[in-house]
């Protein structure tokens, strides 16, 4: 018998989270830290969600409602879809794992536009699927033709982060339809709509609409981004009941905790908080892009709540220098050596970031 864990798991990088804020504060002797690294809601959770959690806290001696009955019914009503088309998960990350666990057999292909969200690669590797890497175009848009060309009879899952993390670029309805026209009947398109609330493009496809006419779509949504509940870990999938069935068989009975369910239900009803979040993102995105361009940098056009920007310098160095000034952004590794990704914050946070960036760039001799 082979010793230790399964050998193929060695290909999975252990996730390295950023340093805890307190540690950064102590290490650099900082008064203020602005975290713009994980695409969280800069306004925090909805006050209604916080209130709902307070109430739910008194009941946590009991197991949560496994099927998330109330949230299910609220979303089914909102999206005008049957309740059986939903599955609730411990963050949408869990949905990605369930999808690969239930549908991707060893050696079957998963198509990954590249670069994209890291969790997809790991979920495919964990199931010993074959990763078909399809680079984005030079301007970071999806290369729809190359994606379609790479589909064959052994293709099981096509991952489309829409908008894409870390680029913020999106695929339009036409692109999704081109993929569906080539995809085998047993294939699935994973439409990850983690940032959908922020999208402004008029030709942005609605996964849940397309799903009405095509059983090969799995839509992923989360409460971590626009709804400001990342710390609670709650997301959901929408798919046809025959697809949901496979996912449900793998799901832990009580995968979504009670506080998360209560908060998500309240957050869903707080339209004002969502509106404020989306509106801030819209106006601040315009301002940030202009300011970044003014600094001589090249931001990528984004439909999400973050901006990928080419600094022209080492992204790792810029990241480290910004950190010393109390701004945490994301460096994306050697494949994007001169870029950083920055979450769009409140006007004050963005000013703090811009002033730190300006001084970092000055120190580098621009």
Ligand X SMILES: Cc1ncc(COP(=O)(O)O)c(C=O)c1O
Q: Does 194 bind ligand X (CB under 6 A)?
A: yes
Instruction: Specify the stretch interacting with ligand X by CB under 6 A; choose among 41-49, 88-96, 259-267, 343-351.
Output: 88-96
Q: Does 91 bind ligand X (CB under 6 A)?
A: yes
Which tokens belong to 124? 């495919």
Distance, in Å, from the CA atom of 226 to the CA atom of 232, rounded to the nearest integer, reads 14
DSSP letter string, 8-32: GGGGSPPP-PPPPHHHHHHHHT-S-
User: Which of 208, 224, 255, 311 is in the footprint of ligand X by CB under 6 A?
Assistant: 224
Which tokens belong to 322? 């910004």
* Residue 123 or 243 with smaller CB distance to ligand X: 123
Is the separation of the CB atoms in 130 and 97 below 8 Å? no
Q: Does 93 bind ligand X (CB under 6 A)?
A: yes
Distances (CA, A) of 145 to 36, 134, 135, 163, 190: 34, 10, 11, 18, 18
Site for ligand X, residues 159 to 178, rule: CB under 6 A: 161, 165
Which tokens belong to 188? 């699935």
Residue in the shown chain whose Cβ atom is closest to ligand X? 91
* Residue 168 or 326 with smaller CB distance to ligand X: 168
* Residue 117 or 352 with smaller CB distance to ligand X: 117
Which tokens belong to 275? 């509106």
Q: Does 92 bind ligand X (CB under 6 A)?
A: yes
Nearest Cα to Cα of residue 149 among 120, 111, 117? 111
Number of H helices, E strands in the chain: 13, 13
* Residue 325 or 341 with smaller CB distance to ligand X: 341
User: Which of 86, 88, 117, 159 is in the footprint of ligand X by CB under 6 A?
Assistant: 117
Q: Does 18 bind ligand X (CB under 6 A)?
A: no
Q: In angstroms, give the least distance from the CB of 267 to ligand X.
A: 13
At residue 93, the 3 state secondary structure works out as helix
* Residue 39 or 127 with smaller CB distance to ligand X: 39
* Residue 117 or 121 with smaller CB distance to ligand X: 117
Site residues, ligand X (CB under 6 A): 39, 91-93, 117, 161, 165, 192, 194, 222, 224, 230, 235
């Amino acid at each position: 018998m082979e010793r230790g864990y399964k050998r193929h798991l060695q290909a999975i990088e252990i996730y390295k989270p950023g340093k805890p804020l307190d540690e950064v504060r102590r290490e650099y002797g900082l008064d203020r830290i602005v975290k713009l690294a994980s695409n969280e809601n800069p306004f925090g959770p909805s006050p209604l969600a916080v209130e709902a959690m307070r109430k739910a806290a008194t009941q946590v001696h009991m197991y949560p409602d496994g099927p998330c009955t109330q949230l299910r019914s609220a979303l089914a009503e909102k999206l005008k879809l049957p309740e059986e088309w939903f599955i609730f998960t411990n963050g949408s990350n869990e949905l990605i794992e369930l999808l690969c666990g239930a549908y991707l057999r060893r050696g079957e292909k998963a198509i990954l536009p590249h670069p994209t969200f890291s969790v997809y690669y790991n979920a495919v590797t964990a199931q010993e699927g074959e990763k078909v890497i399809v680079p984005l175009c030079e301007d970071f848009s999806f290369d729809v033709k190359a994606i379609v060309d790479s589909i064959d009879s052994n293709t099981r899952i096509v991952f489309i982060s829409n908008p894409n993390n870390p680029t913020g670029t999106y695929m339009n309805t036409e692109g999704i339809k081109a993929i569906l026209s080539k995809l085998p009947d047993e294939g699935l398109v994973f439409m990850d709509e983690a940032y959908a609330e922020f999208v402004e493009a008029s030709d942005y496809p609605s996964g849940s609409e397309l799903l009405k006419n095509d059983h090969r779509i799995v839509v992923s949504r989360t409460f971590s981004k626009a709804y400001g509940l990342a710390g609670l870990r709650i997301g959901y999938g929408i798919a046809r009941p025959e697809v949901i069935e496979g996912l449900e068989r793998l799901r832990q009975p009580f995968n979504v905790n009670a506080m998360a369910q209560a908060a998500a239900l309240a957050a869903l009803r707080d339209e004002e908080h969502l509106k404020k979040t989306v509106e801030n993102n819209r106006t601040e995105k315009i301002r940030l892009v202009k300011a970044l361009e003014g600094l001589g940098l090249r931001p990528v056009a984004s439909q999400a709540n973050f901006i990928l920007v080419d600094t022209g310098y080492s992204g790792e160095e810029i990241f480290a220098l910004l950190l010393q000034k109390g701004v945490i952004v994301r460096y994306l590794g050697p494949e994007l050596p001169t870029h950083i990704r920055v979450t769009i914050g409140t006007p004050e946070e963005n000013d703090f970031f811009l002033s730190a960036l300006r001084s970092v760039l000055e120190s580098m001799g621009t």
